[in-house]
Structure 1
Amino acid sequence: MKIVVIGGTGLIGSKLVKKLGEHGHEAVAASPNTGVNTLTGEGLREVLEGASVVIDVSNSPSFEEKAVMEFFTTSTGNLLAAEAAAGVGHHVALSVVGTERPPGNAYFRAKIAQEQLIEKSSIPFSLVHATQFFEFTRAIADQATVDGAVRMPPVLFQPMAGEDVARAVGRAAVGAPLNGRVEIGGPDQYRMDEFFRQALAGWGDPRPVVTDPHAQYFGEELLERSLVPDEDAPRAEIHYRDWAAQNDR
């Protein structure tokens, strides 16, 4: 089965292409690096020829409100139109746990707009909502740093490894379209402030982690369950401590 992975040279996309190939599928990495640009439409017709499934794990290069909305609406619109013309039978998109819950930042609003385009299209679809990636924990800590201290709210936090994200998206892609969404989170649930206190200690990072109920996460204050999936959602396999021992140097 030919499966085109939009964003196929990125963190999750490259893992997906490898996993799908190992399972005997013709997995094609599509990105500006390979001559496919969903914002302009360049290369879409050619790469989608003969494709049964398209997986979109692309991401906006900017999280500025106007730019991120334009990226997800324009690229998704172009992609869906090209898929319809090519006769693609299944569209799979990676999204984020909590996009539909208030409060919502600019990135979440753009992801909601993307999902609405997918839901309204004629193409059968599956949406995979994943929690935050272990690979982004340093970036999250950096954006939360104020005057040398990492300010974190004591809300629930359930991050997961990129490897597990790719596995979940791949499972959705080779299965029947859900015409809905599935959530997945990490194997362990933490308080966000405690997770980062332990993570920074493991990195040997001297910044203190300050518990602050009003600390902002990319411009918004979080509610207790803003970032975690429903309680009955499946959990990923890789624990942070094991991932960190191999990756977090």
Structure 2
Amino acid sequence: MKIAVIGGTGLIGSQVVENLNSAGQEAVPHSRSTGLDVVSGRGLGAAVAGADVVVDLTNSPTFDEASRAFFQNSMDNLLAAAREGGVGHVVILSIVGTDQVPELDYYRAKLLQENLLAAGGIPYSIVRATQFMEFMDAVMSWTADADTVRLPSTPIQPIAAEDVAASVVEVAVGAPLDGIRNIAGPEIFTLDELGRITLAHKGDPRTVVTDPTAGMFAVVQGDVLTDKDAHLAPTRYADWLS
């Protein structure tokens, strides 16, 4: 099976390509570094030509309202190229709860991407993942200073990137879902609790202050970023840290 992995050189994409090829599939990575531009559509036709499956792992360079234009243009271009190329299955990676946080521009943009795919007329699969363990340092950096890290008590269910990649591979080589599969890590934490665990492991002396107004996730209400009924990945946060 030939699989075009758009965004195939990033954190998830590089692992997806490696896992697919190790399993005997023909996975080809495409990204800006290979001359692809999903916003303008440059190179997309050639990238998907002859592919049985297209996996789109591209991401907006910003989390603000400009992300909407990125996903609108990239999905329009990808679907047009996939139709012309006779692609039989398109897979995208999205976020658990993306339809539950309308306050966030980025989540609204990801929901737009999902809706465009679902209406695109090509068999499809959407893999929604919870927050990546790899992003915890970045999340803390948004609201940190020399002595403290301010974080809200938002419940999250972190998942390791390698587990996300494995799930994307499983979906890509299977029959199209024509729907959504939620995947999540095996444990639920509050974000401030996870910050304390992370700093303690690193020997970082800063203090985590619980602040319901701090950072992007402050607007999230309830436990919509978690899903106890999701397909649960095996990697626990303490094991990932180690």
- Normalising to structure 2: TM-score of the pair? 0.95
* Structure 2 match to 1:222: 220
Mapped pair 1:74 → 2:73: yes
Alignment of 1:26-175 (within 5 A): 26-66=26-66, 68-145=67-144, 148-175=147-174
C-alpha contact (below 8 Å) 2:154/2:218 kept by paired residues: no
Return the alpha-carbon distance in structure 2 between the equivalents of residues 16 and 96 of structure 1.
Answer: 17
Aligned residues: 242
Deviates more, 1:57-66 or 1:91-100: 57-66
C-alpha contact (below 8 Å) 2:98/2:108 kept by paired residues: yes
* Per-residue deviation, 1:148: 4.4
Return the alpha-carbon distance in structure 1 between the equivalents of residues 92 and 44 of structure 2.
Answer: 16
The one-letter code sitting in structure 1 at the alignment partner of 2:232 is R
Q: CA RMSD in A?
A: 1.5
The one-letter code sitting in structure 1 at the alignment partner of 2:6 is I
Return the alpha-carbon distance in structure 2 between the equivalents of residues 234 and 42 of structure 1.
Answer: 36
Instruction: Percent identity, please.
Output: 47
Return the alpha-carbon distance in structure 2 between the equivalents of residues 30 and 146 of structure 1.
Answer: 38
C-alpha contact (below 8 Å) 1:69/1:107 kept by paired residues: yes
Mapped pair 1:237 → 2:234: yes
Three-state SS of the structure 1 residue aligned to 2:75 is helix
* Structure 1 match to 2:6: 6
* Structure 1 match to 2:175: 176
C-alpha contact (below 8 Å) 1:55/1:91 kept by paired residues: yes
Spell out, residue by residue over 1:101-141, the C-alpha distance to the aligned partner (whole angstroms, 9 max, x if none): 03430110110111111011110110000011111110001
* Per-residue deviation, 1:61: 1.3
* Per-residue deviation, 1:5: 0.6
C-alpha contact (below 8 Å) 2:91/2:126 kept by paired residues: yes
Structure 1: give runs of 5+ residues left out of the alignment.
none
Structure 2: give runs of 5+ residues left out of the alignment.
none
C-alpha contact (below 8 Å) 2:156/2:188 kept by paired residues: yes
Return the alpha-carbon distance in structure 1 between the equivalents of residues 147 and 116 of structure 2.
Answer: 41
Return the alpha-carbon distance in structure 1 between the equivalents of residues 103 and 55 of structure 2.
Answer: 25
Over 3 Å counting, the alpha-carbon distance change for 1:130 and 1:116 in structure 2 is same
- Normalising to structure 1: TM-score of the pair? 0.93
Over 3 Å counting, the alpha-carbon distance change for 1:220 and 1:106 in structure 2 is farther
Spell out, residue by residue over 1:125-171, the C-alpha distance to the aligned partner (whole angstroms, 9 max, x if none): 10000011111110001113368422222232110110000011111
C-alpha contact (below 8 Å) 1:185/1:234 kept by paired residues: yes
Over 3 Å counting, the alpha-carbon distance change for 1:163 and 1:65 in structure 2 is same
